[in-house]
Chains A and B, each alone.
Chain A
Amino acid sequence: MRKDFAWFVRRGLLLCAILIVCAGIIGTVRADRYSTEQWFDLVAFGLTLGGVYALIALGYSMVYGVLRLINFAHGDTMTVGVFIAYFVARGLEHTKLFETSPAVAVAIILIVGAVVSALVALLVERFAYRPVRASGGFAPLITSIGMSFLLQQTCRGMFGSGVKAYPDPGWLQGSMRIGTFSVPNVEVMVLCAAALVMAGLYLVVNGTRMGTAMRATAEDPRAAVLMGIDINKVIAFTFLLGGLTAGVGGVLYALIYKQVYFMMGFLPGIKAFGAAVLGGIGSIPGAMAGGIILGLAEGIGPTLILDGLGIPAPYQLRDLFAFALLITVLICRPQGLFGEAPARRA
């Protein structure tokens, strides 16, 4: 590699980042203000958040892999699913299902959220993305931005602009003891659900004919068509899978923060997109790992590093952390942690 100007800038920045991180960690460790239990809580919360980011990131990553499109509407597709799932949950509250078998109730909500998000994703693909697919340029990107506005405002118009409190089944409020630590049930449930969905997705993508077709298309679309793959079907299938995982992720996100509103898809969407890039966009294991890493960085980063530097209210700078991590990775390893080196654009 030629050591040009950009190379020195990159190295310099990396060095600065490492120095700041080290200074922060040393400062925090020396101050010793937090107990082991508190650290454990932070890690558990970070992991939970990471699981959700990973689920949402999968959709971005898969769509990007097949279409080379940053789907800005992905987070909002999720919001629609979360809203419908919210109304189902409200309905379930009357049936006492939450008391008798909470696991079934939560499963129902998750499935409803996933199915609705998947349907919306399919509709969006068919009526907005397919017509602009062939035009190239910035058209698909701007269309996805427009779609994001449209979905957000549709939710606002139909369901109102207020923040709605998600039903909170009593079962989720308790906590579980693992050794000397206690973990809230929500976090256990979210992690289990996220792991299940990711395992399922892995099986679908690697074990079925359609999954193989999807990977082939991501690898080389033209060759895939020559091999007799129906590209429209593959793209629809990709959006379907992305919608399903995002729906589950969205409902879990709503269960963690216990609220729904029409803009809720925006920030997790952006961050999940960051997670997808972090892990190497287009790579499915990369999206999972990226999500977890981002969640963890957000969970422990502010306390671990900024606290040590004596910066006031480190929690406010939580988002900064996620983005700084993202940029550092992009600068030093543009293809992401698990991605292949980007092909030279011709």
Chain B
Amino acid sequence: MLHMWEMPEPRQLAERNNTIPVILQAMARPMLAGLACGLAGLYAAFVGILVLMHGRVIIVDVLTLGQCVLLLLGLAAGAKSRTATATRAILPDLARGAVAGSVYGAALACGLALFQIAFLRTVLVSLSPELRRMLSFGLESGPAMVTLVVAGGALGVAGSLWSRLGGEQRRATLTAATAVIVAGTLQQLLQTVLQRFSFTKAIGDLLFSWAGLKWQGALLVGAVAAVVGSLWPIAKREFGARQPTLHALLSDNRSAFQLALLLLGLSVLPALAGPYIGQVLLMVALYTLMGMGLNIEVGLAGLLDLGFVAFFAVGAYATALLTADSSVALSAYTSIPALSFWLAVPIAVALSVIVGVLFGLPVLGVRGDYLAVATLGLGEIVRVIVLSDFAAPILNGAQGILQVPRPFVGSVELSSPVSLFYLTLVCSMFAAFVAWRLQASRLGRAWMALRDDEEVAQALGVNLVKAKLLAYGLGAAFAGLAGAIFATMLTSVYPNSFNLLLSINVLALIVIGGIGSIEGVIVGAILLVGLPELLREFGEYRFLFYGAALIAIMIMRPRGLWSTSRPSGAMPGGLR
């Protein structure tokens, strides 16, 4: 049966006779653009991110991130006000931009008017005085609303002018603006990195003051970004002309080259950048490790597993129970001595594999989406049991297990995030190597056959039980290893760390990166784990951005950011 995704579009209704005046027709697009941007602005305001972003200064005394968002939305309204088919005459363009911008401003003005309604202020916690001050520029309501509409119109005109620029100039301005905003948003981070060395300290002092970019710094960053952005293609062409063999070599092995660069960057950066970046990268590496494991299950074998966190938990708890120096550890009430981290890890991994196989046994015959639900249920069962009084005598319930020691190499304790990062990096490179070697192996091909069609695979002699259990076991091994490192990283284990969100996070990162691709796991982990860690100051709002990013990436790149070039038949349950 052909599936519905492959169906022809239903017949469109015949165009209705146009009786609407021409001028209104011409203005429909700008008005819609303005309205869309206005609604986006209002959403940002009422959810509360606008005020939060207002607190982050981009250029000292000039611009905050919140204002940036509002400005960019206004410009976008103007830039999007022209349809592709419309004429390129300047006056109609400006008029369209002005209309779009004013509609945008009017939408914001409406938002300002909502402050008058007392009832709404009790409902929406985000209608704060700061938001009012921000939207009204400190003016009274009446003048402020007029200002908003006029300023919106001006922005719209600017936006439409920008959209008339050539492609090169547009790209350069966009790069410059992005660079300034990124430099401003991450200024704390960049500054701590720059302050570490004396020669970069001068650059840091030149660009940044304590609160944000200086205006000279912003100009410099923007100019450098624009120049580099516009010179890059030229430089590339030059390089191709001068060193044709090297250029060909690089472009032939593009993805390997990029991967090597990525790994090099990942391994050098924390040593230079200090403990904070080290901590962030540690999380990235940890999730990469888990992603490699889940990628074997989902990407290669097509077993959609939402209970992945269970293996992670087993690894963490096993390590904690075996090594901890506390009254709930095994050494406290049995004759087993407290082990070192290195001795505990193999046991933890072995236990995870056993649990993975036990986990896979009952759901051997369950397929597709049903498998997702069954594994989700299994994962939740593990969590509930760990939390309950029933298992408390061993696992200590909600109190968790404390005082898990750090690993030692010789007499050196791996206590800093950076040293733990290198440990994790080695583990995840090993995992990547295993996954890479497995892909084209007999087992890997069996998995892929299984993923594409179970019956056919069985008919061709693939041992389904063995292949599936091996996939669960191997996936669980990597997750268990990650769990062991997690336990020693936190030096404690709490049941609340092991919830469904973790499984979902790992699944999301391998899909975002490109299902079945090893590089994709790294890219996904950087994007979905590293970036949210860097944006910690946005608190819970990280998850808002996280959700929005998932949707946006899936709409724009449904196959993932770094998808395998091979056509992948991996459809999750029942989609085919």
Where the two chains meet, the residues of A that have a C-beta atom closer than 8 Å to any C-beta of B are 4-7, 9-10, 13, 64, 68, 70, 87, 91, 128, 131-143, 145-154, 156-161, 217, 220-222, 225, 229-232, 270, 273-274, 277, 281, 311-313, 316-317, 319-320, 323-324, 326-327, 330-331, 334, 342-346
Which A-chain residue is minimally distant from B374 (CB atoms)? A330
What chain B residues lie within 8 Å of A343 (beta carbons)?
Answer: 1
What chain B residues lie within 8 Å of A316 (beta carbons)?
Answer: 384, 387-390
Select B390's contact among A153, A312, A326, beta carbons within 8 Å: A312
**With A145-B504, A344-B455 given, is the CB distance from A4 to B465 under 8 Å?**
yes
B373 touching A10 by the CB < 8 A rule? no
- Please provide the 10 A-B residue pairs with the shortest distance between their CB atoms, ordered closest to farther: A146-B550, A149-B547, A135-B558, A221-B4, A150-B547, A157-B47, A153-B544, A323-B377, A139-B558, A6-B364
B1 touching A137 by the CB < 8 A rule? no
Inter-chain CA distance A320–B43, complex, in Å, is: 39
Most buried by B among A70, A217, A311: A70
CB contacts under 8 Å to A, within B14-55, are: 43, 46-49
What chain A residues lie within 8 Å of B139 (beta carbons)?
Answer: none
Which B-chain residue is minimally distant from A162 (CB atoms)? B125
Q: Which of B141-149, B209-217, B419-427, B507-515 is found at the contact surface with chain A?
A: B507-515
Chain B window 346-378, contacts with chain A (Cβ cutoff 8 Å), 1 for yes, 0 for no? 000000000000000111111111101110111
A-B contact pairs, 19 of them (CB 8 A): A7-B365, A70-B372, A142-B507, A146-B547, A146-B549, A146-B550, A149-B544, A150-B544, A150-B548, A225-B7, A225-B8, A312-B390, A313-B389, A319-B384, A323-B381, A327-B363, A342-B370, A342-B574, A345-B576
Select A13's contact among B10, B362, B508, beta carbons within 8 Å: B362
Minimum CB–CB distance for B210 against chain A, Å: 29
Apart from A9-B364, A311-B390, A313-B388: 19 A-B pairs, beta carbons within 8 A: A70-B369, A87-B123, A134-B5, A136-B576, A138-B515, A142-B512, A143-B551, A146-B546, A148-B547, A152-B547, A157-B49, A225-B8, A232-B10, A281-B369, A312-B390, A327-B378, A331-B362, A331-B363, A345-B574
What chain A residues lie within 8 Å of B385 (beta carbons)?
Answer: 317, 320
**With A137-B558, A225-B8, A330-B366 given, is the CB distance from A274 to B377 under 8 Å?**
yes
**With A146-B548, A331-B362, A331-B366 given, is the CB distance from A225 to B10 under 8 Å?**
yes
CB contacts under 8 Å to A, within B178-218, are: none
B384 touching A320 by the CB < 8 A rule? yes
Which A-chain residue is minimally distant from B456 (CB atoms)? A346
B3 adjacent to chain A (CB < 8 Å): yes
A143 touching B515 by the CB < 8 A rule? no
A158 touching B47 by the CB < 8 A rule? yes
What chain A residues lie within 8 Å of B378 (beta carbons)?
Answer: 323, 327
Interface size on B, residues (CB 8 A): 76
B140 adjacent to chain A (CB < 8 Å): no
Say what secondary structure dominates the interface of chain A: helix
**With A143-B551, A157-B541 given, is the CB distance from A327 to B374 under 8 Å?**
yes
Which A-chain residue is minimally distant from B369 (CB atoms)? A70
B572 touching A326 by the CB < 8 A rule? no
Minimum CB–CB distance for B520 against chain A, Å: 12
B4 touching A222 by the CB < 8 A rule? yes
Which B-chain residue is minimally distant from A139 (CB atoms)? B558
B551 touching A147 by the CB < 8 A rule? yes
Inter-chain CA distance A131–B453, complex, in Å, is: 27
B558 touching A160 by the CB < 8 A rule? no
Inter-chain CA distance A138–B513, complex, in Å, is: 12
Which A-chain residue is minimally distant from B387 (CB atoms)? A316
Inter-chain CA distance A137–B515, complex, in Å, is: 9
B231 adjacent to chain A (CB < 8 Å): no
**With A145-B508, A323-B381 given, is the CB distance from A334 to B48 under 8 Å?**
no
Which B-chain residue is minimally distant from A4 (CB atoms)? B465
B559 touching A327 by the CB < 8 A rule? no
CB contacts under 8 Å to A, within B518-576, are: 540-541, 543-544, 546-551, 554-555, 558-559, 568, 570-576
A327 touching B544 by the CB < 8 A rule? no
Inter-chain CA distance A176–B7, complex, in Å, is: 55
What chain B residues lie within 8 Å of A232 (beta carbons)?
Answer: 10
**With A10-B362, A331-B362 given, is the CB distance from A138 to B453 under 8 Å?**
no
What chain A residues lie within 8 Å of B365 (beta carbons)?
Answer: 6-7, 10, 331, 334
Select A137's contact among B377, B507, B571, beta carbons within 8 Å: B571
B508 touching A136 by the CB < 8 A rule? no
B548 touching A222 by the CB < 8 A rule? no
**With A225-B4, A345-B574 given, is the CB distance from A149 to B550 under 8 Å?**
yes
What chain A residues lie within 8 Å of B507 (beta carbons)?
Answer: 138, 142, 145
Minimum CB–CB distance for B361 against chain A, Å: 5
A9 touching B389 by the CB < 8 A rule? no
What chain B residues lie within 8 Å of A346 (beta carbons)?
Answer: 1, 453, 576
B7 touching A231 by the CB < 8 A rule? yes
Where the two chains meet, the residues of B that have a C-beta atom closer than 8 Å to any C-beta of A are 1-8, 10, 43, 46-49, 119, 123-126, 361-370, 372-374, 376-378, 380-381, 384-385, 387-390, 453-455, 465, 500, 504, 507-508, 511-512, 515, 540-541, 543-544, 546-551, 554-555, 558-559, 568, 570-576
Minimum CB–CB distance for A194 against chain B, Å: 23
Inter-chain CA distance A82–B508, complex, in Å, is: 28
Which A-chain residue is minimally distant from B468 (CB atoms)? A6
**With A157-B47, A342-B368, A346-B576 given, is the CB distance from A222 to B7 under 8 Å?**
yes
**With A152-B543, A220-B1, A225-B4 given, is the CB distance from A158 to B124 under 8 Å?**
yes
Inter-chain CA distance A21–B137, complex, in Å, is: 68
A131 touching B570 by the CB < 8 A rule? no
Inter-chain CA distance A141–B573, complex, in Å, is: 10
Which B-chain residue is minimally distant from A231 (CB atoms)? B10
Most buried by B among A145, A151, A331: A145
Inter-chain CA distance A222–B507, complex, in Å, is: 30
Inter-chain CA distance A312–B388, complex, in Å, is: 9
What chain A residues lie within 8 Å of B366 (beta carbons)?
Answer: 330-331, 334
Minimum CB–CB distance for B376 against chain A, Å: 7
What chain A residues lie within 8 Å of B373 (beta carbons)?
Answer: 70, 273-274, 277, 326, 330
Inter-chain CA distance A312–B465, complex, in Å, is: 37
A9 touching B362 by the CB < 8 A rule? yes
Inter-chain CA distance A154–B568, complex, in Å, is: 35
Inter-chain CA distance A334–B366, complex, in Å, is: 6
**With A138-B511, A143-B551, A161-B540 given, is the CB distance from A222 to B465 under 8 Å?**
no
Which A-chain residue is minimally distant from B547 (CB atoms)? A149
What chain B residues lie within 8 Å of A274 (beta carbons)?
Answer: 373, 377
Minimum CB–CB distance for A321 against chain B, Å: 9
Which A-chain residue is minimally distant from B454 (CB atoms)? A345
Which A-chain residue is minimally distant from B373 (CB atoms)? A277
Minimum CB–CB distance for B359 against chain A, Å: 11
Inter-chain CA distance A105–B544, complex, in Å, is: 34
What chain B residues lie within 8 Å of A151 (beta carbons)?
Answer: 547
Inter-chain CA distance A134–B558, complex, in Å, is: 9
Inter-chain CA distance A138–B388, complex, in Å, is: 34
Select A142's contact among B508, B544, B574, beta carbons within 8 Å: B508
What chain A residues lie within 8 Å of B508 (beta carbons)?
Answer: 142, 145-146
Inter-chain CA distance A141–B551, complex, in Å, is: 10
Select B574's contact among A68, A134, A145, A231, beta carbons within 8 Å: A68
B544 touching A154 by the CB < 8 A rule? yes
**With A70-B369, A334-B367, A345-B368 given, is the CB distance from A221 to B3 under 8 Å?**
yes
Which B-chain residue is minimally distant from A128 (CB atoms)? B551
A326 touching B48 by the CB < 8 A rule? no
Minimum CB–CB distance for B450 against chain A, Å: 12
Inter-chain CA distance A154–B126, complex, in Å, is: 11
Inter-chain CA distance A197–B540, complex, in Å, is: 36
What chain B residues lie within 8 Å of A150 (beta carbons)?
Answer: 544, 547-548, 551
What chain A residues lie within 8 Å of B555 (beta carbons)?
Answer: 128, 131-132, 143
B543 touching A149 by the CB < 8 A rule? yes
